[in-house]
Amino acid sequence: MEITLDIKISTLSSCHIMYDKNFLHFILKSKLLTIVFYVVTSVFLQESDFKEINVTGIVTDKETHKPVPNAEVFLQCEYHVDFENNGYEKITVFTDSLGRYSVTFKRGFNVESAAKSSSHNPYRIYNKLSFDSLTINFELEKIIHNSALKTLMYVDSFDEVLDEDSPKFPFLRIQIPSLDTTAILDTNNITTYGFDIATMQMNNDTNECDFWFVPGNQDKEPNVIRANATGGIFPVYETDINSSFFFELNEAPVKGYQNEIYLTGKEEGFFVLARDKRFYAKIILHKWKIDNSGPDKNDKYTKQYGLNFSCIAQSNGTRNLHFSREQLNLSDFVIDGRWR
């Protein structure tokens, strides 16, 4: 028995290819092999998880090295469900009078954790398992209350339901309009939205901003951030941070500020010396780049490139940028990318 199939090839001509029943058997067999491969691989992945994982540790004060009793510790263990999906077992415990804790997970291959106390800032640690036991110790920094601090938090923007066109929405970006009602972009008329630390607002007048994206003249995501000539920016990279830029490097540097920085993708953010040289700020960049297009409020096609961010600024002229969030949910701190 033979079957003839008509197919189209790149030259748009048709041809005849002869397949016998053995080929069809091969196709069916291949599908079956794919299913078998999926099942076997899923089982193998599940079996590769460590079983009965014991995690222990102690929480101490970073300065005094004394144990922190009743500290909250959140841990989640990632495990394989099948070839495509993973699951998480989550546990929250509190330390004993000696700052100790201990938990056991059923199975898994990766443990993410964080700890805090009523008087200490949170700290998180990520571990890929090599054995079925793991020690995770935390050294927590004491909370330093900072009443003069001003904040504009991207992590809170969803709760406040701010429109991205609001000057209070932390969205550093360039905006490229269309030439007319079509989608043809006018790259000679790009608007850049910078940030003014004094008012904690976005502004498209760079004379009233402390930093902004250099727009260029093309349909391309910007990668240079410029500071006002009388201020400066000081980049902070992933290698400078152990847990979270929000709670680390809490004093702005005295010198080393630059007029421009070129983004490499490895930045956690940067410090800012405002153009009046009175305010210092910490900018925490969100990792997800924004690249969207569509009609604006006037139904005119527009394209935007940019980054969301959070700002922690000092209003009293000092370099003190100590930040605290006592009601921070540790699960959010571990999982939510906006806290990274």
Report d(CA 89, CA 108) in Å as an integer. Answer: 9
pLDDT of residue 31: 59
Please report the pLDDT score of residue 229 as a whole number: 95
Phi, psi of 267, rounded to the nearest 5 degrees:
-85, 135
What is the C-alpha separation between 63 and 53, in angstroms, rounded? 31
Token pair of 211 as six digits = 């930093």
Entry pTM: 0.82
Whether 298 has a pLDDT exceeding 80, the answer reads no
Question: Would you place residue 1 in the very low, low, confident or very high pLDDT band (cuts 50, 70, 90)?
Answer: very low
According to DSSP, residue 141 is labeled: P
Is 197 exposed, middle or buried, given 0-12, 13-18 or 19+ CB atoms closer than 10 A?
buried
Tens of pLDDT along 33-87?
555 444 545 444 445 899 999 999 999 999 999 999 999 999 999 999 886 789 9
pLDDT in tens, 211-234: 999 998 788 889 999 999 999 999
Domain spans in the chain, listed from the N-terminal domain onward: 2-48, 50-140, 149-323
H/E segment holding residue 326:
none
Q: Class of the 50-140 domain?
A: mainly beta
- How big is the CA angle at 181 (ends 177 and 182), to the nearest 5 degrees? 85
Query: Rounded to whole angstroms, what are the CA distances from 309 to 74, 77, 100, 131?
Result: 26, 29, 36, 38
The string of pLDDT tens digits covering residues 165-203 is 788 889 999 999 888 767 788 888 999 999 999 999 999
pLDDT for the residue numbered 27: 55
Q: What is the pLDDT of residue 21?
A: 56
The single residue listed with the structure tokens 């500020």 is 257
